[in-house]
Structure 1
């Protein structure tokens, strides 16, 4: 069997969820959209189910997968519904729903529902993606109340630049949100992972009845480009690993891989690893990207190909055929690999495919 695999540490997942609760002082929806950022939504939800306040997914298809796996906790649809006829399924599956547009309110007004909806009413406080205009927000709230079909409304927005610790944008968005919600009495949800970890001073009076939405932090990756104290407490959940399947001894001056992106400057031992961009390892990771071989630090050399990549064994005389290679995980941080490749850990997790997910500790 091909040795590439991803080990998922569910104990680390639980620890990261508890950290979100601890530092926020609020209830927390565990964001498990996009198959739990590549970690396996059902298994991650099962691991958190006994202590979680609820889950968040992108769409109804993802919610249906969780309900089919007997996940009974609240599930929020972060993008709401895309078609009016989805309201019947939302009602049947007892899902919570984001409302971000006036047409969705109109659809709720017309719908025949068996139970009152829980609506998370989203305001565009400056992200300018989805959400109601601040001037329309109070009226939308009251309009939902007047339908007689909504049992609870949570007020929400989303920060665009909370991962930039020196940006004033989060302060500006919070001010816009607070101004628009004047006179509206409801629970609030504003904070994503970077806002939970990096902006506690914005929420000195966070109510325990309010909500946070930890996403990338659940999986143990920092959302920041620079070191940050709370992010340093996160525990990586995924370890992507494989083995060396071939070894080459090259003299100085020899190219390795497609495009001759690496040329040996000295006699070089090259290890070939069963891992490539078809598995989700970033193709644009350059020579020098860190790897761990049998517990010792080394580096990627040459261009990543579809099924294989090459690493430097020159200073690791004990390494060879069958040596274990950590591509990212507990020792090689996914955020460091992503930074080398000019991307973010969100993307490299979500791009994972073909590699089996292994849950060694339940």
Structure 2
């Protein structure tokens, strides 16, 4: 008698229309390490294959999400779950689960990347206070009550999910960092003549990029050979470029816009310290990427950013005060080797995609 082939675990991964290489997209890099067959519901073959492991026999299912509301998309996913048999569902956007059958919700792990409203930070908030926004919040809250488990990408998010959504089960998972960052680890050349500061992220007021530029005249008085490279796009770009010209910082601050992945790695390799004055983060992928490469960070010590300081590879400041920022830079330079090695150590333990996949599989097994 021929033995029946072993049935592989099948997972439906719901990945909304995020740009490849963005923080939310990178949060799914663990997929290629799952010992399962994953069906990835994404925008295009290019985007889906970004997460696939070509060495495994994973099935990639793609579809166009453009123009779809989360209501219509949730119905498509419900039909997909009816037609195909899945053991588990993983999503980074709980609002896409509203029409999923209760039986399937019990086998679902939702890993939200943040909450759409931040009561403490009003600057990005004015246009969000509308009926549709509140309905989406209520739906997310209702769905979270019925999913098998919620995953948190930081201790801050763990506390927020527990307090706001009160799920049945919650696990601290963290977000993964691309393997290339671990392969490009560096150490500080003590003979370096130029201090290279690097910001990576969206150019909007919430991220505090304007504050970094405003700190630069004081930084240059203390460290005359400093350069700040700003990587990213956003609604503030024109205003930031104008501010650079107004402060006569053209030789010292360069806004590069969005760059390709290879170029991004080069900027990290050339950086001495990663810097961010963001007013809110649920995780902050660039700080984790820098840690994997052995590059310490200076961060505004709030929300999830504070955790990077507590983990021992970043220094923090609190006020929009160039003196506080300078003091944090000084602490990093005085303890560079210690912070650098600590960053590599923590990143290998918490942010390597394979480690994240192990934690996720442990949660999924608890849903049986």
Name the larger-Rg structure. 1
TM-score computed with the length of structure 2 as normaliser? 0.33
Q: TM-score, normalised by structure 1?
A: 0.33
Which structure carries more relative contact order (alpha carbon 8 Å, separation 6+)? Answer: 1
- In terms of fraction of residues, the more helix-rich structure is 2
